[in-house]
Amino acid sequence: MTQVTYYTKEGLEKLKAELEHLTTVERPSISQQIAEARDKGDLSENAEYDAAKNAQGMLEMKISKMQELIRNARLIDESKLDNSKILILSNVKIRNTKTNAVMTYTLVPESEADLKAGKISISSPIAKGLLGKSKGETVEITIPAGKITVEIIEIS
């Protein structure tokens, strides 16, 4: 069964660039390593040859998985998203009601999550708690450390 994965335009381009690198740089490099190891003689006791063939197998498997991801990828049309409720790709500014800490997150597909850049996965506990909510609402979210209560300040 194929699994459809949603990407932003930026995320899909990044995935395609990585696949391009694997097929045009990594694949020829491993082929070269195999050729060099083969030239060293007896293949039955050649550890370099075995290692290079293993690396080739792993690379081909990774390339195959990435090609399948790209085939089943769907782009998210940002122009059709509603900013009155929190959805995927929403920029959300929230305030922790207990500590008054203000945080800004962008809800993105799981494959594009990057906490340092303020991008949290749509399947994370915080994102799940915020989905479908509107500006001004106060929401109690269960996270691994317990429960937090946040107020939604802004959605863009």
Give residue 80's pLDDT.
67
What average pLDDT does the structure give for the chain? 87
Give residue 18's pLDDT.
93
pLDDT digits (tens, 9 = 90+) for 71-103: 988 887 766 666 778 888 888 999 998 899 999
pLDDT digits (tens, 9 = 90+) for 100-137: 999 999 988 888 888 899 999 888 999 889 988 888 88
Per-residue pLDDT at 61 exceeds 90: yes
Q: How sure is the predictor about 60, in pLDDT bands with cuts at 50, 70 and 90?
A: very high
Q: What's the whole-model pTM score?
A: 0.65
Domains parsed from the chain with CATH numbers? 5-75 (1.10.287.180), 78-155 (3.10.50.30)
Give residue 86's pLDDT.
85
Helix/strand/coil (H/E/C) assignment for every residue in the chain:
CCCCEEECHHHHHHHHHHHHHHHHHHHHHHHHHHHHHHCCCCHHHCHHHHHHHHHHHHHHHHHHHHHHHHHCEEECCHHHCCCCECCCCCEEEEEECCCCCEEEEEEECHHHCEHHHCEEECCCHHHHHHCCCECCCEEEEEECCEEEEEEEEEEC
Per-residue pLDDT at 43 exceeds 80: no
What average pLDDT score do residues 54-71 get? 92
Q: Where is average pLDDT lowest: 22-26, 45-49, 96-100, 141-145?
A: 45-49
What average pLDDT score do residues 33-46 get? 80
